[in-house]
């Protein structure tokens, strides 16, 4: 007899799908959350501990999250309160900023994180617009050990020709990203 929460094809019902989406949002947000917490704490080990505590709180509060809203902003708000709690636990440390300064740093970090998310999305869209040959040359250049000379050798072109292609592709990407960010700012 099948579990009543399992669909005949083995998929979980709506709540399972929502939970999967939540977990994916949480996973995708880890580097942003860590950077945000680290910008407030300046101590990698303590920041890692606060990130883990924040993750636990996020899981506890997953039913409070509204799908379709800015997960990163919601998670950063929870992380901010966890940083404050950690600061209270370590209050004896004489090298602590005031809560007001910490709030200013947090607001700035959150804006920077949101801006980086927008830039990352714009980059992905602009990369998808490149021709496959241009994209392959660009990706080859930024792989570990990817040199212009190696790309030229494998493509049967001169290093100068590859440099020109890379220059044009970078300029096209920069123009595309700036255009997309302007569209976001105007909307």
80 alpha-carbon distance from chain centroid: 17
Q: What is the pLDDT of residue 5?
A: 39
Q: What is the pLDDT of residue 3?
A: 40
Q: CA-to-CA distance for 40 and 38, rounded, in angstroms?
A: 5
Q: What is the pLDDT of residue 19?
A: 79
Where does residue 130 fall: left (phi above 0), alpha (psi -120 to 50 degrees), or beta otherwise? beta
pTM over 0.85: no
Give me the chain's average pLDDT, please.
Answer: 83
Q: CA-to-CA distance for 153 and 162, rounded, in angstroms?
A: 10
Q: Tens of pLDDT along 5-43? A: 334 444 444 556 677 788 888 998 898 899 889 888 878
Query: Does 4 score more than 80 pLDDT?
Result: no
Q: Tens of pLDDT along 91-132? A: 665 556 677 877 888 888 777 777 777 888 888 899 999 998
Q: Tens of pLDDT along 128-156? A: 999 988 989 988 888 888 889 989 998 89
Query: Does 176 score more than 50 pLDDT?
Result: yes
The residue ranges of every structural domain in the chain are 11-113, 130-187
Q: Tens of pLDDT along 70-81? A: 898 899 999 999
Q: CA-to-CA distance for 123 and 138, rounded, in angstroms?
A: 13
What is the assigned CATH class of domain 130-187?
mainly alpha
Q: What is the pLDDT of residue 171?
A: 93
């Amino acid at each position: 007899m099948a579990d009543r929460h399992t669909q005949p094809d083995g998929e979980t019902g709506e709540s399972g799908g929502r939970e999967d989406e939540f977990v994916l949002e949480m996973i995708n947000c880890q580097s942003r959350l860590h950077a945000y917490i680290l910008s407030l704490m300046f101590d990698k080990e303590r920041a890692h501990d606060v990130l883990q505590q924040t993750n636990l709180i996020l899981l506890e509060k997953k039913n409070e999250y509204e799908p379709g809203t800015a997960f990163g902003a919601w998670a950063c708000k929870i992380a901010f309160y966890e940083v404050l709690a950690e600061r209270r636990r370590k209050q004896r440390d004489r090298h602590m900023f005031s809560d007001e300064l910490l709030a200013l740093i947090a607001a700035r970090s959150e804006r920077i994180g949101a801006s980086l998310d927008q830039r990352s999305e714009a980059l992905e869209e602009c990369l998808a617009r490149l021709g496959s040959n241009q994209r392959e040359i660009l990706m080859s250049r930024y792989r570990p050990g990817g040199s212009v000379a190696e790309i030229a050798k494998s493509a049967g072109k001169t290093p100068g020709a590859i440099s020109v292609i890379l220059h044009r592709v970078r300029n096209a990407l920069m123009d595309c990203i700036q255009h997309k960010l302007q569209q976001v700012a105007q909307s």
